[in-house]
Structures are given as C-alpha cells and as structure tokens.
Amino acid sequence: MMSPSVLLLLGWMLVPLTMTIYFSFLRYNLLNPGTESFTGWTNYYYFVTDPSFTDALVNTISIFGGVLFITTIGGIAFSLLLDQPMWKSGLIRMLVIAPFFVMPTVSALVWKNMFMNPVNGFFGQIASFLGLQPFDFFGQAPLLSVIWIISWQWLPFATLILLTALQSLDREQLEASEMDGANSFSRFIFIILPHLARPITVAILIQTIFLLSIFAEILVTTNGGPGTATTNLTYLIYVQSLLQFDVGAGSAGGVIAIILANIVAIFLMRMIGKNLE
C-alpha cells in the first residue's frame, strides 16, 4: 500500500534532479535551441566566479541569519508572555500568529507599498505628520526591509511552536523550584530554557529550509535590487534560468543550492529521526 506514494516521490526526486545535474554540464541556452554541447565544469566555474554569486551567498546568509535572530529571540519572549494566565487567550494568540497565514506576495506588497513607501505609506505619513523626514526603507535599507517583512511572517511560527512546547512543561517542577527560592531569572535559565532547547532547534531548522528558498518576497518588492543588494541564491538562479534563459548556468546554481540545503537537512533529519524511536 506504500508503493504508490514511494513511486511518486521517487519520480519527483530522481527525474528533475537527474535533469538538473545533466543540464549543469551542458552549454544550453533556450534562446539558441539545438546548440547544446557538453562543457564539463564550465557552468560551475562561470556561476561561482560571477561576483553576483558571492553577493547572493552573503545575502542568503544575511536573510536567514537576520530572520532567525529576530524570530528566535522574539519567539521566546512572545511565547513566555502568551503562556501567562490571561483572559481571551485564544483570541490574543490568533492575533499574534495571524501574519503566518498571510500569503507571501500579500505581506510583501502590503509592507512595501502601504507601510514603507516614503510618500503615502503609513510610516511616511506618521513621519510627515510629526514633522520628520520620512525614511525611504527600500531605498536606504533594502535588505533590512526584506528581512523585516520575512520576520513578520515567521515570528508567529516560532512563537506558536515554543508556546506549544511551553504548555507541555511540568508546572509542578516550576512551583517546586519557586518554593525552593528560585527567582524568575534562574527558573528561566535552569528549567524553561533547557525545556525549550529542542523545540527551538526544530523551529530554527525548519525555518532554515524555507528561508534558504525565499523567492516571492524578493520578486514583488525589489526584483533582487538595487543592483544585487537583495538577490539571494534562489533569486539569482531564477534570473539566470528564466530571465536570461541560461539553462546550463542556472542548473549549476541549482546543484549548488541543493548541496547547501542538504547540509542543513542532515541536522534536521537527525532531530526528527530521534523522535521516531
């Protein structure tokens, strides 16, 4: 009964993957069909030595480093707060996690046009109202603006996971430690944080898988620019293959992206695998 899904996934993995690897060794441009020829490692050499590759690599790492920093610190703080006794906790939790359900193109456009636009955007309006110079977010700090938008989407995810984990924390242990005179800081360091270690790792690894492949947010806000200021690896490969029609170089980039993702995947798989025992 397992075989249909195994076959489907096997096909999904092997067919396109083999094609990507094959194309990566070809000189192949969609604008000149019929001129494909074997070129060895040329595409890899061309892709890696292109200065935009280094930029894209740095941007990819900046985006996922920046977003993970915000979502992890923020997620711990938010989940601790939401775990406190309060009224209407269901409604409040939904307000906090709502951004996670917003499709990437909507959140990117709404932030870019309606909030960060220096003339008519919300922040610009507030600034002019207060007599301040409006800040041109995408002109002055494009990468940070992209990081901000992505963090807004993923902070709810981290919060939700850590909150779920906190709710499974043994309350008696906490109360016992309180009776023994532990203050809230040492309770956080010695009981809550160790309990959260695993969920934090899981949240980080899962986000990493998605954050390495950020695409729509960049496409609708900056198109990777100005210059290559917000081009990540995914976007660079997209430009190479679907805008410049260079199948060979795009495929070489694809293979590199797969290798990078696999390094993260190995750690994630170990974490999840342990849970199967």
Partner 1 sequence: MRAISNNRKALNTAIALTLGLFMSFPIIWILILSFKSELDAIGNPLQVLLSSWTLDSFSTVQGRSDYLKHFSNSVIISLGSTFLALLVAIPSAWAMAFVPGKQTKNILMWMLSTKMLPPVGVLIPIYLLFRDYGLLDTRVGLVIILTLINLPIIIWMLYTYFKEIPVDILEAARMDGAGLKQEILYVLTPMAIPGIASTLILNIILAWNEAFWTINLTASNAAPLTAFIASYSSPEGLFYAKLSAASIMAIAPILIMGWFSQKQLVRGLTFGAVK
Among 38, 41, 101, 190, binds partner 1 (CB under 8 A): 101
Among 43, 59, 71, 221, binds partner 1 (CB under 8 A): 221
Each residue 148-167 as x (binds partner 1 by CB under 8 A) or -, in order, gives: ----x--xxx--xx--xx--
Helix (H) or strand (E) holding 27: strand 26-27
> What is the rounded CA–CA span in Å between residue 135 and residue 39?
48
12 to 41, contacts with partner 1 by CB under 8 A? 12-13, 15-17, 19-20, 23
The residue among 81 and 189 lying less far from partner 1, judged by its C-beta, is 81
Identify the CA nearest to 53 among candidates 256, 241, 214, 219: 256
Are 196 and 162 in contact by the 8 Å Cβ rule? The answer is: yes
Q: Quick one: which segment of 38-46, 61-69, 181-189, 247-255 binds partner 1 (CB under 8 A)?
A: 247-255
> What is the rounded CA–CA span in Å between residue 223 and residue 206?
25
**Does the protein bind partner 1 through residue 273 (CB under 8 A)?**
yes
Among 35, 37, 49, 84, binds partner 1 (CB under 8 A): 84
**Does the protein bind partner 1 through residue 113 (CB under 8 A)?**
yes
> What is the rounded CA–CA span in Å between residue 120 and residue 197?
43
Q: Compute the radius of gyration of the chain from its Cα atoms.
A: 23
Place of tokens 């600034």: 127
Place of tokens 């397992």: 2
> What is the rounded CA–CA span in Å between residue 213 and residue 191?
35
**Does the protein bind partner 1 through residue 81 (CB under 8 A)?**
yes
**Does the protein bind partner 1 through residue 57 (CB under 8 A)?**
no
Are 192 and 76 in contact by the 8 Å Cβ rule? The answer is: no
Q: Quick one: which segment of 43-51, 61-69, 186-194, 245-253 binds partner 1 (CB under 8 A)?
A: 245-253
**Does the protein bind partner 1 through residue 255 (CB under 8 A)?**
yes
Each residue 189-208 as x (binds partner 1 by CB under 8 A) or -, in order, gives: ---------xx--xx--x--
Identify the CA nearest to 154 among candidates 216, 86, 93, 100: 100
**Does the protein bind partner 1 through residue 111 (CB under 8 A)?**
yes
The residue among 30 and 189 lying less far from partner 1, judged by its C-beta, is 30
**Does the protein bind partner 1 through residue 117 (CB under 8 A)?**
yes
129 to 148, contacts with partner 1 by CB under 8 A? 129
Cα-based angle 142, 144, 149 (whole degrees, multiple of 5): 95
**Does the protein bind partner 1 through residue 107 (CB under 8 A)?**
yes
Beta bridge partners of 231: none
**Does the protein bind partner 1 through residue 67 (CB under 8 A)?**
no
